[in-house]
Amino acid sequence: MKKKIQTSMEKETPAIQSWEVLILVAHHLDPKTLAIASCVSRSWLHSMSSDELWKPIVTTHFPSLSTLPSAVSYCHLFALGHSAALRRRQTLSKPTLSLSDLVFGVSITSKRESRVVAAASIPVDALVVDPPGVFSFGVGLEECVLMKNEGLEEVVKVTWNVVVKGWRGIFTLMDCERKVRFAGGGEEWFSQELPAPSCCSKVVASSVVADMKVGMCDSGGKVRVEKVRMGILSVVDWRYVGVEDGLRYLQHFLLT
């Protein structure tokens, strides 16, 4: 009688398959454990890689990817997102260039007269970082100017080259023209988009620009260029990049 009851119960209660247990357990595993478990066997790989498991994981960890139209599995999508996140967190290597390796060459030329209004060639390590920690430098041009009449307005050409000492490399950060008004106590701003440090650098702009501010002073009814401040400015947050980031950018073009 007991045997008959047991046989009857076995017929009424379906046996739970091992893969069903596996799926139930898998729902409680973290992404790393799921990835390890998928290496056990082909059947485990199939069970641990289902979209049913990985879609909520992707939605939790990378919500911006969860709505991306994609032909790949959610497991693969998570792997892509995880790799991208690791790369973003990587510590950048120290630049091989240093400020002591560089010389800035700056000139401001009058287009109408074809004469240099101001010019200087300065070792960068002799300049003051302004403000501290960023790739922005100020220099006085007291001995490198020609006088201009107060209120004069004309087109000038501004160039800024950075040279590796010993002429081992040169890169033009700025070469632009525009009309300026010479006025005592006045300031003029110049900027130029910089290329991306890649194989497409000639056609693709980066997220930084070369920035220059020219300050003038009154001198007996005439005006002279007194100082220049130049730096590399990020267009993402409109702040000067750090010294290391600036050097890291320049070495793409100066050290080949």
Domains of the chain: 2-89 (1.20.1280), 99-254 (no CATH)
Q: Which residues pair with 157 in a beta bridge?
A: 109, 177
To the question of pTM greater than 0.85 for the whole model, the response is no
Q: How far apart are CA 246 and CA 124, in angstroms?
A: 13
pLDDT tens digits for 192-248?
Answer: 999 988 755 555 567 899 999 999 888 777 888 888 999 999 988 889 999 999 999
- Comparison of pLDDT for 11 and 224, the residue scoring more: 224
Q: Which two tokens stand for residue 104?
A: 């800035």
CB 235 within 8 A of CB 229: no
Within 8 A by CB and 6+ apart from 89, the residues are: none
